[in-house]
A and B are shown apart, each in its own frame.
Chain A
Amino acid sequence: SAVISQKPSRDICQRGTSLTIQCQVDSQVTMMFWYRQQPGQSLTLIATANQGSEATYESGFVIDKFPISRPNLTFSTLTVSNLSPEDSSIYLCSVEAQGGETQYFGPGTRLLVL
C-alpha cells in the first residue's frame, strides 16, 4: 500500500479566504482523488486528478471553487476557495493502488471556517 501524507492536518480559516491542501504519496501513482467528508456524513468524491490533464469534477463541484493541481505522479493540491462555514469538512486525498481496484487514503485535513 502507498503511504500518503496531507498538509495541513487541520486549519481554521476566515470566510472569504482560501485554503490549499497538499497531498504527497511515497510512490508514483496515476490516479489521485479528492473527497469531502462533511460533519457526521460519509465521503463524497470531489474530483479525480490524473497527471498531465485537467481534473474531472463530480456533479455539484466546480473548478472555480475547488481548483486542483497535479504537477507530477506523487503530488496534488486541492484549493478550497472563497470559504464559507458550509465548507467546514474533512478533506481527504486518496490514490489508486497498482492494479487499479483499491484506493488508499491520506489522514485527512480538518477545516473549520469561521
Chain B
Amino acid sequence: AQSVTQLGSHVSVSEGALVLLRCNYSSSVPPYLFWYVQYPNQGLQLLLKYTSAATLVKGINGFEAEFKKSETSFHLTKPSAHMSDAAEYFCAVSVGIRTGANNLFFGTGTRLTVIP
C-alpha cells in the first residue's frame, strides 16, 4: 500500500527565507512522487514530479525536491520565498503505470504562509 505523510500542516517563513516542506512516503514498490500546489480558490497545479530518473528534480517557480530512498523522503525546497508562494502544498505518491487506474495518494497538505 502507498501513503504519504506531510510533517507540519502549517509552515511560516519570512520573505526571502528558505522554504522547506517535508514529505515522507511509504510504498511497497518504487514510487512516483509528486508535489502539487493549490492557490486559494483554485485547482491543483503540478509543481514537479519524480519518476525514477534524476533524484534531484527541478520544478516550476524555483522549487525543487530531492528523492532520498534511504530516508523515504521527497522534501520540497525553494531557496528564497516569495509572497506569491503562499498556498497549500500537497505531496502525492503513485506506483506508476499499471493495469487499471494510476491512483494518486495525497498527503494532508501543508499551508505555507510567507511573512513580509
Which residues, 66 to 107 on B, are CB-close (under 8 Å) to A? 90, 94, 96-97, 100-104, 106-107
Shortest distance between the CB of B6 and any CB in chain A (Å): 9
Asked if A108 meets B42 with Cβ closer than 8 Å, knowing A48-B101, A96-B102, the reply is yes
The one of B90, B100, B103 that contacts A42, using a Cβ cutoff of 8 Å: B90
B44 CB-CB contact with A under 8 Å:
yes
Chain A positions 98 through 114: 1 when the CB is less than 8 Å from some CB of chain B, otherwise 0: 01111111111010000
Please tell me if the beta carbons of B36 and A105 are within 8 angstroms of each other in the complex.
yes
| Assembled-state Cα–Cα distance A45/B92 (Å) | 12
The interface residues of chain A lying within 8 Å CB-to-CB of B102 are 31, 96, 100-101, 103
Please tell me if the beta carbons of B43 and A45 are within 8 angstroms of each other in the complex.
no
The interface residues of chain B lying within 8 Å CB-to-CB of A110 are 41
The B interface is mostly helix, strand or loop, or mixed, namely loop
Please tell me if the beta carbons of A102 and B34 are within 8 angstroms of each other in the complex.
yes
Number of interface residues of A (CB under 8 A): 26
The A interface is mostly helix, strand or loop, or mixed, namely strand
With both beta carbons as reference points, the residue of chain B lying nearest to A48 in the complex is identified as B101
With both beta carbons as reference points, the residue of chain B lying nearest to A43 in the complex is identified as B106
Shortest distance between the CB of A93 and any CB in chain B (Å): 9
- What is B's interface to A at a CB cutoff of 8 Å? 32, 34, 36, 41-46, 49, 51, 90, 94, 96-97, 100-104, 106-109
Q: Contacts A33-B104, A43-B44 known; list 13 others, CB within 8 Å.
A: A43-B104, A45-B103, A45-B104, A48-B100, A48-B101, A56-B100, A56-B101, A100-B102, A101-B97, A103-B102, A103-B104, A107-B42, A107-B43
